[in-house]
Amino acid sequence: MREASALKAWVALQIAEFVRAADTEAGAVTQRNEVEVLSFDLIAGDASPRKYYRATFSAINGMPTPSLIAVDAPHSEKNPEFLHIRQLLEQGGIRVPALIAADVEAGFLLLEDLGDDVLLPTLSNHSAGPWYAMALSTLNQVAAIPVATSGLTRYDAGKLQAELDLFRHWFIPQLLGLEWAQDLNDAFAGLTQCLIANAAEQPQVVVHRDFHSRNLMVVGNSELAVIDFQDAVIGPITYDPISLLKDCYISWSRQQQIAWLMDYKRLLIEEQHMVAIDDDTFTVWFDLMGLQRHVKVLGIFARLCLRDGKPAYLDDLPLVLAYVVQALAIYAPSVPAIARFAEVFDRQVLPACKTQSWYRPVVLT
């Protein structure tokens, strides 16, 4: 664990440099060469090793200064990618935190403070409509970013398979304590082939890859800003809508999900970001992409608990599990590979889940 003092000293230096540069540009005489950091408080982070601090400062040349967010981001946390994608999204008209300073080698970032209001707690049956319309409009802007010049990697079959394999490595043997038996292995292999083929069939656009209610910030009660975008890739057009509409932290009725999905499809077609396609095909793309994401997330949340010491993510497993069960039930009658996996899942995996302390039944409507 790195000491916060080094980051704090770096932040003070960046602010002092910023003030001197501003004074020089304005032709003014700098009145102070140092800026006092009044507070430097660790705030809630995310699922990564990044640490976030809110920094407040003494007045600069007699003027109050806004708080900023200082980030301690180890080299494992894709700092160059973060900076590149932040700029890419900003150029695409998407609201992201402004960049004040960065030291990629040290793993230090200084960003605009967007506040503490993520979208999740503001959502209700009454408020969700306008917020989701805004979020889907933002996704439409993301999908409009030119793929050829994005500089992003492809969400290819290898990456999709590696994500699905988190289920076999972490959820089944490590969390549930089940043997990875031959029948489960064979059924899982068929499922992954089906889901990867579905992803490859879709139009490929810029994808945030974790576009959900905890990664959207409400700014000034009327604006949505996007955070946690460093894993963006070029991938299937329904991936981000899945993250939003089948959110791992809040659920909506299937009728409402599909209504929002069709709103998004119409927006994509109207803005010429996708050729016209029938509703049924788009829904299948969406559902099977969701099955890939949620099977992966079972593995990710298990790993966050067991490897990273973050057991709170187990509280979110029941909803993710319910999404998987629902998708298997919908498509088992028509897709043989899903039927084979559903049979083994119902016979082996679900009973083991029900013995876990985190398990609770979730009924999706």
What single letter denotes the amino acid at residue 297?
Answer: V
Q: Is the separation of the CB atoms in 147 and 276 below 8 Å?
A: no
Model confidence pLDDT, tens digit, residues 255-299: 999 999 999 999 999 998 899 999 999 999 999 999 999 999 999
* Residue in this structure with the two tokens 């770096």, named with its chain if needed: 10
pLDDT of residue 26: 53
Ordered by start, the domain boundaries in the chain are: 4-112, 120-353
Q: What is the pTM of this model?
A: 0.91
Query: From first to last of its 365 residues, what are the pLDDT tens digits of the chain?
Result: 567 889 998 998 888 887 776 566 555 554 544 667 888 999 866 656 789 999 998 776 666 778 999 999 887 788 999 999 999 999 999 999 999 999 998 999 999 999 999 999 999 999 999 999 999 999 999 999 999 999 999 999 999 999 999 999 999 999 999 999 999 999 999 999 999 999 999 999 999 999 999 999 999 878 999 999 999 999 999 999 999 999 999 999 999 999 999 999 999 999 988 999 999 999 999 999 999 999 999 999 999 999 999 999 999 999 999 999 999 999 999 999 999 999 999 999 999 999 999 999 999 99
Q: What angle do CA 228, 243, 126 make, to 5 degrees?
A: 100
Question: Can you give the pLDDT at residue 23?
Answer: 60
Of 256, 253, 251, 229, the C-alpha closest to 240 is 229
What is the pairing mode between strands 108-112 and 99-103?
antiparallel
Backbone angles phi, psi at 161, to 5 degrees: -65, -40
Q: CA dihedral defined by 282, 287, 293, 298, rounded to 10 degrees?
A: 180
Q: Is 219 helix (H, G, I), strand (E, B) or coil?
A: strand
What whole-number distance in Å separates Cα of residue 136 and Cα of residue 267? 9
Architecture per CATH, domain 4-112, reads as 2-Layer Sandwich (3.30)
Give the pLDDT confidence score for residue 222 in this predicted structure: 85
365 vs 362: CA distance, rounded Å:
10
CATH of 120-353, one of 2.60.120.10, 2.40.50.140, 3.90.1200.10, 3.40.50.1100: 3.90.1200.10
Query: What does the pLDDT read at residue 43?
Result: 87
Task: Determine the Cα–Cα distance for residues 348 and 79; give it in Å rounded to an integer.
Answer: 41
Per-residue confidence (pLDDT) for residue 226, from 0 to 100: 97
Residues 76 and 241: their CA atoms lie apart, in Å, by 27
**Helices 317-331, 279-306: crossing angle, 10 deg rounding:** 150
In whole angstroms, what is the distance from residue 275 CA to residue 293 CA? 24
pLDDT value of position 34 = 61
